[in-house]
A and B are shown apart, each in its own frame.
Chain A
Amino acid sequence: MKSNASLLTFLTISEPSEEKIFFGYLKELEEVAPDKPHWYKGKGSHGNAIFLWEEKKVKQWTVVGNDKFTQALFQDLSSKFELNINLGSVNKKFTAPQFEKEVVKDNIYAIPDVDNCDKGDRPDDFICKSWHTDISFFLNEEKNCEFISGYKHFNGIKQVEPYGLFYEKFLFQKLNKKICFVYDSRGVFYSLRGVRKDTKKDPTKYFGFVQEDLKFKTNSKVIIRDISGTRTLGESEIDPTNGRWSMDLSEAINKGEFLFVDKTTGKFLCGEKFYLIKDISLNTQIVSITIKDLFGRDINIVSNEGRVAPLSESVVWHSSSAPSDKQSEIELSDRISQILLSLGKSIIISDPYFLGEIIVEDSQLKLSKSQLVFMNALVIALAKGGIEELNILGSWRKASSLSDGSQEKFIEGYKAIYKALKATFTNSSYLKLKTFNICFSKQPFHDRYVLNGKDENVIYSVSNSINGIIQSTELMVLPLTQIDIFKIRPKVLQRFEESDKYNLIY
């Protein structure tokens, strides 16, 4: 049966005549709804809700019902900012501050009038200008929010139910952004890739997978339209056994609209615009004191200072934040350069997948777009920062799952990187690299870090593998806290020390 259950919860400040909602959360569940709405015991059942925090009069009200029921409550609340709910023999009045949906500007992925597929990843947030009751003890008060959420304990304060409803720091982060309602819809997780035989031509063959239940995979199909949404260029059934699909388009494209369609009704279930990344060859050159980089920019090497200060706050890149694909890649490359330059002259990149498999065909590097952007950043950092040691630490146990060949072939690919770097710096003296190793960890690991390989306590957590940054559309690099530095840095350095190292300089 199709999932149709939703959970709706309100956090309120209880007053004799009404419950003043200061935070609401509606989550669509992957479950079938009960026959009638079920209010949790002590959270609204028979009109009763116990205090989570009696001194501050904080209560929680929670109901599980079908989507129609919870959405009707939400619609009522968002239009009137008031609800009257009959809970058995008791009628309860709820009021809310005025709130409106947060508008995400410049969303180049949205298709007009079609739902976004991956909503679980980007729930709708609703902002309120101000609350109609005093909740100052939650604003900028992380511990109080965590007591209520159940991640910290304080005698006399109960946690929300069901346990784990809010992830760690969820309530704190939302309230601090003045978000007073969150609507977390079911999403459809999917992937899409184009198959390119020629790096200069756009693909006609596309494939991907859908992570959904059997019914969804059986009852829907995928289609691709041109970017204006006027013409359907191809369609495919979804293999119900593994969620895979593939299609040949009637014309080659590198951007378009990807949609799920209900096979019976023909209605669009959800969809998003997509923009493919083209593979192009590494084409940075150094002439005198300037680098002409991958994007055609002349970058002056000597007018800029080399080492930059270690990051004091996180660096975030999102593909949709720039007005064009090219600008987005420039932004990514510049951020990576700055990160590398802040690490000093000795750098360890610790990533279970290394930099991904480096493919060499006919003595030419065939890099993915992510790898190219990284290489562009690396060339700039090498030239400006005089980096002397670069070690790429990975886990063959993990990387081999994405590699077609042997470990020897994998290493050969990385040797080709050094060859390309050397060629880039042929007419200059800016390449100071004395050590360039690929290092195979003896232990499995999963988290990604970049760090200074010498004595400096500079280490950052990295959200994605380098080879998958553009595909995943985002990157977050976080400087570790002092406690995490003490905990994690020795572990990564030990992995590095014990690893099998292969010199790539020849």
Chain B
Amino acid sequence: MCPYYSHIKYLNAGKNLYDRIDEVVMFIDDYFKPQKSDQFFIMDPYFNVFTALRDPFTNNKLEETIWSSLIILMANEDSSFSIITNEQMSIGIPPSKVDFPKSESKTVNIEACYYPNGVFYNDYTLHDRYILRKNGDDVSGLHIGPSLTDIHNKDVSITVFEIKEAELALDNFVFIWDQCKLNKGWRKS
């Protein structure tokens, strides 16, 4: 169950490329089977949280980007999303909060942290893209080839983590998250 969505094959079959994006989004949603109180951890160096998430939510264009569509789809009551990215963002002090659209009538917490490569912890750099889900003791995860910020002209491979690898990735995510939080934006000048 590690699908590969070929751009060229889809295009040559005369299919609508929007559908391919929907297929990717639905695969991720189907794999995680989101429930109440899920915690999602998203690592993507190219995830611009302002343009890909906050602005679509603010402008009530929830399908504007792949990220906004996916997060709206996976969010349930009491869900939380923690996002680490290389894209510059922070309203002063990280992690920044992104308000979930009120039209969805759910309590969902979204936080994102901007992690400039090599600045916060030794020379560590972000590279991988993955999504992890934790609910109670259950941890699962998907590795996604390209950034979901834009896949319209890219092949997309998705790899399912074994449980142990998902747990390891989660440990790593939490460590980087804590480093990111420790380095407050206002402390740097």
Binding site for B on A (CB under 8 A): 5, 7, 27, 29-31, 34, 38, 40-41, 45, 64, 120-121, 162-165, 167-168, 189, 191, 209, 211, 242-243, 397-398, 401, 443-447, 461, 463-465, 468, 471-472, 476, 491, 494
Residues B97 and A209 in contact, CB atoms below 8 Å apart: no
Residues A64 and B103 in contact, CB atoms below 8 Å apart: no
Residues A29 and B25 in contact, CB atoms below 8 Å apart: no
C-alpha spacing A472/B185, complex, angstroms: 35
Q: What would 6 more interface pairs be, CB under 8 Å, given A163-B89, A461-B60?
A: A34-B184, A120-B99, A168-B59, A242-B37, A401-B76, A447-B60
Residue of chain A at shortest CB distance from B48: A164
Chain A to chain B contacts (Cβ below 8 Å), 26 pairs: A7-B91, A7-B92, A27-B91, A27-B92, A31-B93, A31-B184, A34-B186, A41-B189, A162-B185, A163-B50, A164-B50, A165-B91, A189-B107, A191-B105, A242-B78, A397-B29, A443-B22, A445-B63, A446-B62, A446-B69, A447-B60, A461-B60, A463-B103, A472-B105, A491-B18, A494-B18
Interface centre among B59, B90, B91 (most CB of A within 10 A): B91
Contact digits for B105-126, partner A, Cβ 8 Å, 1 yes 0 no: 1010100000000000000000
Residue of chain B at shortest CB distance from A191: B105
When distances are taken between beta carbons in the complex, the residues of chain B under 8 Å from A444 are 22, 25-26, 29, 69, 73
Q: Which of A461, A463, A468, A494 contacts B105 (CB 8 A)?
A: A468
Chain A's nearest CB lies how many Å from the CB of B152? 13
**In the assembled complex, B102 has its CB within 8 A of some CB on chain A:** yes
Residues B187 and A34 in contact, CB atoms below 8 Å apart: yes
C-alpha spacing A264/B97, complex, angstroms: 28
Residue of chain A at shortest CB distance from B36: A242
Interface centre among A163, A164, A167, A243 (most CB of B within 10 A): A164
Residues A29 and B72 in contact, CB atoms below 8 Å apart: no
When distances are taken between beta carbons in the complex, the residues of chain A under 8 Å from B73 are 397-398, 444, 446
Q: A443-B26, A444-B25, A463-B103 are in contact. Are A162 and B63 (CB under 8 A)?
A: no
Q: Which of B26, B60, B92, B97 contacts A64 (CB 8 A)?
A: B92
**In the assembled complex, B61 has its CB within 8 A of some CB on chain A:** yes
Binding site for A on B (CB under 8 A): 16, 18-19, 22, 25-26, 29, 37, 50, 54-55, 58-63, 68-69, 72-73, 76, 78, 88-93, 97, 99, 102-103, 105, 107, 109, 184-187, 189
Chain B's nearest CB lies how many Å from the CB of A362? 28
Q: Which of A30, A447, A468 contacts B61 (CB 8 A)?
A: A447
Residues B189 and A164 in contact, CB atoms below 8 Å apart: no
Residues B54 and A167 in contact, CB atoms below 8 Å apart: yes
Residue of chain A at shortest CB distance from B105: A468
C-alpha spacing A163/B107, complex, angstroms: 26
When distances are taken between beta carbons in the complex, the residues of chain B under 8 Å from A41 are 189
C-alpha spacing A64/B91, complex, angstroms: 10
C-alpha spacing A31/B91, complex, angstroms: 10
When distances are taken between beta carbons in the complex, the residues of chain A under 8 Å from B97 are 30
When distances are taken between beta carbons in the complex, the residues of chain B under 8 Å from A472 are 102-103, 105
When distances are taken between beta carbons in the complex, the residues of chain B under 8 Å from A191 are 105
C-alpha spacing A168/B57, complex, angstroms: 12
Residues A446 and B72 in contact, CB atoms below 8 Å apart: yes
When distances are taken between beta carbons in the complex, the residues of chain B under 8 Å from A162 are 89-92, 185
Residues A447 and B25 in contact, CB atoms below 8 Å apart: no
C-alpha spacing A443/B16, complex, angstroms: 13
Q: Which of A64, A164, A446, A463 contacts B93 (CB 8 A)?
A: A64
Chain B's nearest CB lies how many Å from the CB of A475? 10
C-alpha spacing A120/B60, complex, angstroms: 16
Chain B's nearest CB lies how many Å from the CB of A494? 7
When distances are taken between beta carbons in the complex, the residues of chain B under 8 Å from A165 are 91
Q: A5-B92, A5-B93, A164-B89 are in contact. Are A447 and B16 (CB under 8 A)?
A: no
Q: Which of A27, A401, A447, A468 contacts B63 (CB 8 A)?
A: A447
Chain A's nearest CB lies how many Å from the CB of B170? 22
Residues A40 and B189 in contact, CB atoms below 8 Å apart: yes
Chain B's nearest CB lies how many Å from the CB of A417? 22
Chain B's nearest CB lies how many Å from the CB of A344? 24
When distances are taken between beta carbons in the complex, the residues of chain B under 8 Å from A120 are 99
C-alpha spacing A476/B58, complex, angstroms: 13
Interface centre among B16, B92, B99 (most CB of A within 10 A): B92
